[in-house]
Structures are given as structure tokens and as C-alpha cells.
Structure 1
Amino acid sequence: MWRKASVAALLALAVGYLYHGCPELPEQLLHYISPASSHSSPQSQHRLEQVISNAWDSLITLPTRQWTRVAVGVNACVDVVVSGVGLLQALALDPGSGLDHEVLHSKEDLREAFVHFMERGAAAERFFSDKEVFRRIARAAAEYPGAKLYVGGNAALIGQKLATYPALMVLLCGPVGPKLHEMLDEQIVVPPGSLQETDEYHLILEYKAGEQWGSTRAPQANRFIFSHDVSNGEMSSLETFVASLEEFQPDLVVLSGLHMMEGQGRQLWEERLKEAVAAISDIGKDIPIHLELASMTDRDYMNSIMQEVMPIVSSIGLNEQELLFLSQAGGGPHAHLATWKGVPDVGQVSDILLWILERHGRSDPSSEADLTRVHFHTLAYHVLATVDGYWANQVAAVTAGARVASSQACGTRTVDATKVELKAPLRFHSSHSEARVALSLDPAAPVTVWRRGNVTFHMTPVLVCKQPLRTVGLGDAISAEGLVYSELKSQQPF
């Protein structure tokens, strides 16, 4: 057991480190690292993580008008989760230098791409083009000691999370094989047209913070996903999904899986994306649509999604990689950045979020776009950006998303302050490039709010799990939880 003085000293060091060496701490943080705290018991000490967790619990309240029927589609599969380094070693692959590949064609491509992202601690997803080689790798993964099978695919994972709320009826549409159907929550309704004879499998290669393979050392825990998935890759369930909405009568639609088409080649995705836009446009204008994005590498494809899909959805969810790539593809703010260095700068993130809502959303009153909400999540913090007048209860929504990230990563029902740590910046700015406001984190009121024009930003830190049990599906759980606590206002301002 740590000595009391040691706890206080370590906490002070941690706060100093998190503040990136700046000699002045935000005033509201001084209380939590005062020398007096060393005189109390470990149970009663003021720990930043416990204060934030308690504050979250008081802020998270369900909206006045809640969703009752949510339709989710269209990517679904079975995830095979294994140790990435362990599986690659079992495939007789040696460590070496990393190199990203937009599409994987061989085991060597897999090794290089895995190393590339492992050394950055970044999540990624790629298509494996060779069906037979993929099957052999999948067989080895399923037989690898400790391999686990889970519900997979953004839509299925979001559906599973939503189904934990008894008052919600959930429709899931996607390629659902017998194994996946067996694993789904019994509260989830699967239309007959979505059932197929065989399952689609995705391989999830996980690595832990500090794990080493050759000269590569992971700065944080994450995963690399790959598959040879034609059903999801062609979004073959999309028309079935849209057709089922008339009978199901949802009050919210959640759409994911567009990223899967990227690996099918330009000719297919150009044609299929047009069909997807037509199908999405058939959904009633009174039904809000949330689009969940995922890892992509083709700038033309991402730009097409921005131009054609984003304006016809109400909300999007994305992480730091997808946010920066979106800006790079569309020539947005900070597009010159090759990658984020460490924790993404809050001001730069704010600039890109505002650009999305101005360029492709309803921030401009004269715009006919439907997009009014962006839920951004990264390891250290989350930001919800919403056009004023459309959404309510967003303080609860952003904190609920952060809370589930902390608890689910650690495999606990609630946040355990001893298993998590604060990695969010303690001081930051509302923008990186224009007239900006200096902001800071208050642990007792851990949602920082600022406005830029008619867009309001809600930011909260994440209590990062020190030893995460599973990182797959965290983004989907975050978006699902944020949506549960979000309320779409009935009165529209424009």
C-alpha cells in the first residue's frame, strides 16, 4: 500500500506532468494537490479522478424526451480478438519497420501496417484483399490461446449498447450469421432479410500500453482491425435496412459501415455511394440520422462522404484520426498536419469541428443541410459541438460518453478512480488560429463550454483506464451513450 505522503507527491507530479510543464496551475486545481491532503487517509484524499467521476454522476440525467425506437445499420460481424504481437509471431513473422497500406494484400503488408500503427498507439482498420490468405490467418487467430469472440461491427456494437436500456426497442440490420445472431442481445430485433447462412469475421489485433515487439513500443493500448468482408464492404444490407424502417417506425436512425466500402475499389464505391445517398434520402425528414465514421485512407472517398452524405444526416461521431483525415481530404483547418502529436490540441479540434458545421452543416442559417451535431472523441477528452437551437441535454450526453469510455475499458460497471488517470490538458484554448479564449478544467464541474458563432462546444476529460481490458468498440459505446442522453428539440430555429 502506498504511503499517504507518496500518494500526495505522486498526484502533484502527475498534475504537473499533465500540465506539460507550465509553472502555473489552474486555480481550481490547487485544492486537489495541497499539502494538507497528505494528512488525510487514502480513502478520503482529494483525488482528481474521484472528484471528476462524482461530478459526472451528478451531471448525467436522462433527457425529458427520450428515444423509444432506434434503428441501427448496416455493418455487423463476429470479432475475433487476439494479441496482435502473439498472432503475428504465430504466423512466423518477424518484427521490423512499419509501413501503412491502404489495402492489405499479404501477411507482410499486415505486419508492416500493424507495426506502423502500434508504434503510434493509433487505431486503424484495413481490408485484406486475398480471401484464402485471410481465411488461413482467421483460422490461426481463432485457434490462438486466449482468443475471444465478440459481437462486432459498428452497427451491431451500437445496437448492443442501446439494448442495455430496457425502455429502448432496437432494430439491427446488417449481415447477421448464425453465430452473431446467437450472441446478440435478445432485445434486438433482426429483420429476416438481414439473416445469412454464414458469419463475417473481423480480426482484432490488440496491444497493451508499453508492449514491445522488436524495436517497436506501443505508447498506449489500442488495436488494429482487418477483414475480408464483402457483405459489409458492399453495404449489401442498406436497402433492406431502409425498407424495414417503414414498419419499425423509429424515432432515431444510426448508420455506420460506409468505411467498409473503401477497400472495394473506386468504381464500386462511387456507384454504391450514390445508391446509399438515394437510400438515406428516402428516410423521412422528421427522423434524425446519426452517422458513425471509422478509419479511412482514401481522400477522394472521404471527400465524397463529406459532400454527399454529411449534409443529409443530423449527427456524426468520429475520433481524432477521422477528424484530421476529414480536414485533410476537404482542405479544412490544420490540414497541413501529418498526424496529431500526443493529445490532440483542443483549439485545433475546435477549429475543425466548427469548419465541418459551417461547410457541411446547418451553422449557416441559409444552408439546407441537416447536420447540426458532431460528437468527437479521443483518448484524453471528448467534445460535443452543436448548432444552437437543435439539441438539448448535451452536458449529460458528453459526460455519459466519457464515463462509459472509462468504465468499459476497465471492465467495471462504474468508474473505479484507482484504475484510471487524467490525461486531458488542464489549460487549453477555444481556437488555435483566430481570436481565442483561454479555458481550463475544473474537476468539480468537468464540462467546459464555449461558443463560436451559433455553435456551442461541450468538452469533458476522459479518465483513461491504466490497464484496459478491451479497446474494441469503445467509440461505438461512446456514441451510443451520447445519443441516449441527447434530446432533439422539437422547435427548429430556421
Structure 2
Amino acid sequence: MLKIVISALCVALVAYYYRGFVEKELSNRLISVLEGLERVEKDHPVDRRPKVAIGYGACNDLFIDGKQLLKYDDSAGTPEHFNFISSIDELLKTYAYFFRHGAAAERYISDDKLFDAIVDKAARVEGSHYALGGNAPVMAKRFVTEGCDVLLAAKMTPELQRTLPKDLKVVGGVTKKDDIHLILEYKAGEQWGIHRAPRANRFIVHNDDNNPLISSLEEFDKLLINFNPNLFVVSGLQMMDNYPFAEGIREQRLKRIQEQMKVQSFKTRIHFEMASFAEAQMLQHLIDYIIPYADSLGMNEQELTNLHNMMEYGNISIVSDSNPRVAAVLDQMRKTFQLVSQNRIGMEGSRQLTRLHVHTLAYQAIMTVKESPWKNSRAAAAKASLTANRHVCGSKE
């Protein structure tokens, strides 16, 4: 009996020290990778001041631990997907649907009073906090940090604008109340009722008034012509997804954005940043009105699958693999690149897609056309990886 106990103890000690050895080895490898990325970054400094125009919209993000706000109940035990949310039950079911897949998603809450009540409750939860939100202003702020001359199209309150760098020029007018996005975060392996998250991610809900209408568009247009940007970034269009527009209004606004893209000099690179879309018609509008007029596309693995499925099969993908293999993503990128290139044929003023950037939590994948204006993809991938790390960790290191 004593021999068995001693043997078990020896096995436990060996396992403990082996685990420590493996963790140290992985840590050393990670440090080596980070140092390598930093060397690439230092070898490719931004030695001029590029001009970047970026639209559209802005908001106040309210961050909160999802389980602190949403208490699990029986309705969450039967996850279900809704294109938009109109009740607490639908919120719980939709949150559960994406939580169990570890998939990012963004949904519109159609009931103003319901949304306000949820936000009010979230703001009073210990640990919740507000921060500048919206793809456009967050990217604009980063561009300024990297030494760019930036013009941002966004309608916001003076209070929110004061959170931006002073040398970032904002056009689009002033609003009395900023749109709020409620960001429900969860960790990898987190348990919520009967559901376990396979990876860390976030679920976003909103009830925007300004952003879906692209209310900064006209003011932006007045300055964009003379600004003559090196890069024009189009983003924030996911706010139009499932918004209750009057008939034809959404298409009109998208066509105005298209015109804004078409009048740019071909020396100006145009990048369209995708986001979470649940409405098939909206995604088809993007394929028809926006994507053919961009040189570059950016998206995560969920959005890549969504775009690919819409162009290949005519339907959207609600969730995709939360930990996609590199080979699978590259195959999907190649096919999507081909589909986008074919789709633009015959469209007046369209641009050849020359760059596709897919960013996941685990890696960056950038595909470019040979001899295209997009240079230093290796440095771009390194910079993207480091920037994502710095943004999430709030560090400059």
C-alpha cells in the first residue's frame, strides 16, 4: 500500500514539474514571437504622414460582464437566433445562441424602452464602464496614434468628441445624445447555466438613432473632396442591419456612400471594413453597392464565412467555427477573393479587389494581388497583431 502511495506521489510530482516545464517553454516561445513581431515593426516605421478619411458614425460603448447582467433562466436553455430583438426572452435566447458557439454578434433591439432599461441596469452594475465606441472613431484614434492626418465622419456630443485626440478632425455635426452600444463580454470556458463558451468573445446590442442613417455623410462629403486622402476607410454600416427604414431609404443612403467611393481618385486606396450582419438583404446590398468599389476588404472569420456563403450560395451563415484552422480560412479567402472579383465585372467605376485581410483572435491573414499598391504585407500582419494586443490590453508595449 505504501509503495502505491509513493508511486502515485512520484507521478504527481513528475506531472507537476513537467507541466511547469511545458508552460515555461510555451512562455519562452511566445516572448520570442512577440520580440520578432516588434523587430519587424521597428524595421518598417511610418516615415511620412498619410492622410486617412474614415466613416461613419460613433457611439458610447458600455462594457459589462455578460453573466453579471443577464441572469440565466429556462428560456436561455433553448437557444434561438433572432435577426433583431424585441423582448428579454429573445435577448436571453440570442445571447445563449452565440455564447455556446463562442461567436461574436451584434443585434438591434427594436424596443426603445426595453433597451433604455437594460442600459440603465447595466450602468449600475459594479465593474461596468463606458468607452469611446464605433469602428470608425476607434480606428481613427489608432491612425492618429500611428502618425496619420485623419478626417472622421461622425455625429456625436461634445462630451464624446473630447475623448478623441485634439488633432483628429471630426465632421458630421453635433447630437444631444450619443448612441450607446451595450457590449456583453465573456471568457473562454465560462459557464452560463447549461452553456459553456468555447472561446472568449462578446455580444453587442444597440438601439441607434444616428448611426443607421449615416447622418454625418453630407458634412463629410463637403470636406472629403479637398482632403484628398491616401486612404479612405468605409465602416460602421452594420448599424443599418435590421433597422426599420422607410422603404427605399437604406438603398438611397448606400448609393450615396457608393458615389462617395466612386469619385475618389484611383490613387486613393479604399478599404471596406465588414462587421456582423444578420439580414440577408443588407448583406446583398453591400455586395451590390459597396464591396465592388473597394480595393481592400477587412473582416473576422465569422464575417468571412458570412460573405462567402452569401456570394456562393445566396444565404448567410449565423455562426462559424470559433477556432478556424488557418488552411480552412485561406481556402475561403481565395474563393471569396475570386467571387468578389467576378461580381464587379461590368460595374461602372468599380475597383479590382487587391487586398483581403482576415483578422481572428489567434492570427492575421492578408492576401494581396502581386504588383498591387499594397506593400509590406509581412509588416502589416505584424503591426496588426501587435496593435490588437495593445488595444485589448491598453498598453503601448
TM norm structure 2: 0.86
Query: Where has structure 1 moved over 3 Å in runs of 4 or more?
Result: 3-12, 63-67, 91-95, 265-268, 335-342, 361-368, 410-413
Match of 2:142 in 1: 161
Match of 1:213 in 2: 192
Match of 1:357 in 2: 337
Match of 2:241 in 1: 262
Q: Is the 1:74–1:255 contact (alpha carbons within 8 Å) kept by the matching residues of 2? A: yes
Q: CA deviation at 1:65?
A: 6.6
Cα distance in structure 1, aligned partners of 2:318 and 2:27:
39
Secondary structure, aligned partner of 1:163: helix
Match of 1:138 in 2: 119
- Change in 2 beyond 3 A, CA 1:315/1:181: same
Cα distance in structure 2, aligned partners of 1:317 and 1:327:
13
Say whether residues 1:282 and 2:270 are aligned partners: no
Q: Map 1:167-178 to 2 at 5 A.
A: 167-178=147-158
Match of 1:109 in 2: 90
- Change in 2 beyond 3 A, CA 1:87/1:63: same
Q: CA deviation at 1:6?
A: 5.3
Cα distance in structure 2, aligned partners of 1:128 and 1:376:
28
Letter of the 2:360 partner, please give it.
Answer: T
Q: Is the 1:362–1:387 contact (alpha carbons within 8 Å) kept by the matching residues of 2? A: no
Cα distance in structure 2, aligned partners of 1:64 and 1:231:
34
Say whether residues 1:199 and 2:178 are aligned partners: yes
- Unaligned 5+ runs, structure 1: 15-41, 415-494
Letter of the 1:279 partner, please give it.
Answer: Q
Q: Is the 1:129–1:228 contact (alpha carbons within 8 Å) kept by the matching residues of 2? A: yes
Q: Map 1:183-262 to 2 at 5 A.
A: 183-191=163-171, 193-262=172-241
Secondary structure, aligned partner of 1:47: helix
Cα distance in structure 2, aligned partners of 1:9 and 1:356:
42
CA offset digits 1:24-62 (Å, max 9, x no partner): xxxxxxxxxxxxxxxxxx6x9982212211211222233
Secondary structure, aligned partner of 1:360: helix
Match of 1:81 in 2: 63
In proportion to residue count, which structure has more helix? 2
Letter of the 1:388 partner, please give it.
Answer: K
Letter of the 1:68 partner, please give it.
Answer: P
CA offset digits 1:407-445 (Å, max 9, x no partner): 43334433xxxxxxxxxxxxxxxxxxxxxxxxxxxxxxx
Q: Is the 1:310–1:361 contact (alpha carbons within 8 Å) kept by the matching residues of 2? A: no
- Change in 2 beyond 3 A, CA 1:265/1:7: farther
Say whether residues 1:402 and 2:385 are aligned partners: yes
- Change in 2 beyond 3 A, CA 1:93/1:242: farther
TM norm structure 1: 0.70
Match of 1:430 in 2: none
Q: CA deviation at 1:227?
A: 0.6
Q: Which of 351, 356, 361 does residue 369 from structure 1 map onto?
A: 351
Cα distance in structure 1, aligned partners of 2:393 and 2:154:
29
Letter of the 1:328 partner, please give it.
Answer: N
Cα distance in structure 1, aligned partners of 2:58 and 2:294:
21
Q: CA deviation at 1:183?
A: 1.5
Q: Which of 119, 136, 140 does residue 100 from structure 2 map onto?
A: 119
Match of 2:327 in 1: 347
Q: Map 1:285-300 to 2 at 5 A.
A: 285-300=266-281
Cα distance in structure 2, aligned partners of 1:321 and 1:287:
28
Q: CA deviation at 1:362?
A: 8.8
Cα distance in structure 1, aligned partners of 2:354 and 2:125:
45
Q: Percent identity?
A: 32
Q: What is the RMSD of the two structures over their aligned residues, measured on CA atoms?
A: 3.0
Say whether residues 1:68 and 2:50 are aligned partners: yes
Cα distance in structure 2, aligned partners of 1:339 and 1:205:
17
